[in-house]
């Protein structure tokens, strides 16, 4: 299965704020981002999106019938959501950086939990016979799937960085959860 993973456009948010499940509007109209992205995506293949507004609006501008799936939501940062990284503090951030796949922010979820729901989604697409799909999602989803494909240990996941509107093409032949 060929996946075209697209990170959403830049959200309207002050720099230095932790956001995952916050439902943020885009910094510019989705149509502008869609105009930049459309030439980089294959035409007429199914498109799924995270329910987050920053993803959904782009999906609606790119495709006549995008489908939403909650398994494509960004990582839930729990009590960290909406707080500045400085307020979260260096000790907590060091714990997360030491094990970004396994660490669970208070009230949130781990990177491995994100990976499990993303792989569950991909397996479902495969079971339904999809040969390719576009997924409009978040850096956490892209990071988890790429780390899985590259067999990257959890402690190295934060080395994977994704720009807004980045398109990543991955081939999956039969994912299974670790």
Query: Among 53, 24, 27, 34, which Cα is nearest to 134's?
Result: 34
Residues 21-79 pLDDT 10s? 999 999 999 999 999 999 999 988 999 999 999 999 999 999 999 999 999 999 999 99
Q: Alpha helices of the chain — where are they, by DSSP H?
A: 30-37, 53-62, 85-88, 90-98, 111-127, 139-149
Question: What does DSSP assign to residue 94?
Answer: H
pLDDT for the residue 173? 80
Per-residue pLDDT at 172: 87
CB 50 within 8 A of CB 74: yes
Query: What domains are there in the chain, each with its CATH number?
Result: 2-171 (3.40.50.1240)
What is the Cα–Cα distance from 162 to 104, expressed in whole angstroms? 21
Q: What percent of the chain has pLDDT over 70?
A: 97
C-alpha gyration radius of the chain: 16
Confidence of residue 178 (pLDDT cuts 50, 70, 90): very low
Take residue 6 and report the two structure tokens written for it. Answer: 């697209």
Q: Is residue 122 within 8 Å of 3, Cβ to Cβ?
A: yes
DSSP, res 29? -
Q: Which two tokens stand for residue 58?
A: 């782009």
The number of residues in the chain equals: 178
CA distance 88 to 70: 26
As a whole-number percent, the residues of the chain with pLDDT over 90 amount to 95
Entry pTM = 0.94
Residue 113 pLDDT > 50, yes or no?
A: yes
């Amino acid at each position: 299965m060929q996946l075209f993973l697209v990170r959403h456009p830049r959200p309207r948010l002050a720099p230095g704020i932790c956001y995952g499940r916050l439902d943020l509007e885009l910094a510019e109209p989705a149509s502008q981002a869609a105009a930049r992205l459309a030439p980089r995506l294959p035409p007429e293949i199914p498109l799924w999106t995270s329910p987050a507004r920053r993803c959904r609006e782009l999906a609606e501008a790119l495709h006549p019938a995008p489908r939403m799936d909650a398994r494509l939501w960004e990582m839930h940062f729990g009590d960290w959501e909406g707080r500045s990284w400085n307020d979260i503090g260096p000790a907590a951030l060091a714990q997360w950086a030491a094990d970004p796949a396994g660490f669970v922010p208070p009230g949130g979820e781990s990177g491995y939990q994100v990976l499990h729901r993303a792989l569950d989604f991909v397996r479902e697409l495969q079971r339904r016979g999809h040969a390719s799909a576009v997924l409009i999602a978040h850096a956490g989803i892209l990071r988890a799937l790429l780390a899985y494909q590259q067999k990257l240990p959890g402690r190295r996941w934060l080395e994977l960085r994704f720009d807004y509107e980045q398109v990543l093409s991955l081939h999956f032949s039969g994912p299974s959860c670790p």
